[in-house]
Structure 1
Amino acid sequence: MSRALLPFLLLSQAGAGTVELLPRLYSDGVFRSAEKVPDAQVPRGSQGVKLLPGGYGGEWFLTLGGPKGTVSAHLSYLGTGIGLAQNVAPVAKLSGRVGATLASACFGTGTDRLSALRAWVEEKVRAGGQDDLNVERTFGPLRVQVLTQHTHASDMLPAGQAELDVILTRTGTPGSATRPDTCRL
């Protein structure tokens, strides 16, 4: 092998580069497009999209954040409390699948941890279907949080609202090991 090719081989083995995330999310058939969220509505250095079509009684959003590459990924479901309670099983499955896709594509989580991560996210989303929840767990260097918040019916919000958040963050340096330099929408 030529010595000139060695740095490129090492970079490709390290996983450095940019990952285009939306085509991976579209491949399972639930989401087919996305609308960019205005920069003023996402934290500085982040990018966000509304995933379309909305489904299971709510709207879905994905934000990738952090300067110079992804340091966090944030999947949100916004809907009514009734909508989340009635659709908790498919919302949990979809959250687990998207969480595993994010963990693999953007954070380099190995296949040995993905099924445990997916099952844990699904279990916690189901647990938060009707009650507030704030839990976290680590899968190697990846930290995963699942939060649900329910507002009660009032004059201003007669149906009551529900928000589900799955947040992934990873320690370490982008571009090292199997983690890409950048994961973008």
Structure 2
Amino acid sequence: MDKEDHPAFSVFSQNLVPACKCNSKRLKSLVGPSPGERILHPYFDSVLSDRIVAAYFSDLGAIPRVETRIVLDPADPCFAAAGFHHDSVIMRTGIHGYLMSRWTKFMRQPWLIVPDLRFNPVDRAQLVAIIADERVRNDESRDSKNNWDSVFLSGLLDDHVVDWLYAQLTKPGRLPNGPLL
């Protein structure tokens, strides 16, 4: 909570949490105009243990279009809060620039982002398994399914991206560990 508007909470132990720069990027508004819209709190909102954000890549190639989207089930009671949090906090950070830089590095050296891609997958299903396993490693090592690397990897698991990646990885003449473009 903002200590200017809520000074009593500035020393409340559950308000004193290590926060990324996301917290300083948000607006002062903690709630939105529609029912359920609000900022999510790391101690009080268990929905943060679920995957709520993923990248979305379109116009695939050297410079794709990158967006983020809510992947939480729209029937989830926290869906409105997740959307408000996305728009009020996440979208005000440098996440899109970060996702673009990861994409660029992934195009040049896929194994730096997904180490098991040192060797080309034998089929599409293996590619999905490799990316999904790397996402689990990121989720667990960072104690969050919504860290920016997991957001990136979630976007790679979209069917249209998997199809495009598999075609790039298995292109005739491409060497293992070689660039994708």
Which structure dedicates a bigger proportion of its chain to strand? 1
**Greater relative contact order (CA < 8 Å, ≥ 6 in sequence):** 1
TM-score (norm 2): 0.29
Question: Which structure has more helix as a fraction of its residues?
Answer: 2
Calculate the TM-score normalised by the size of structure 1: 0.29
Give the number of the structure whose alpha-carbon radius of gyration is greater: 2
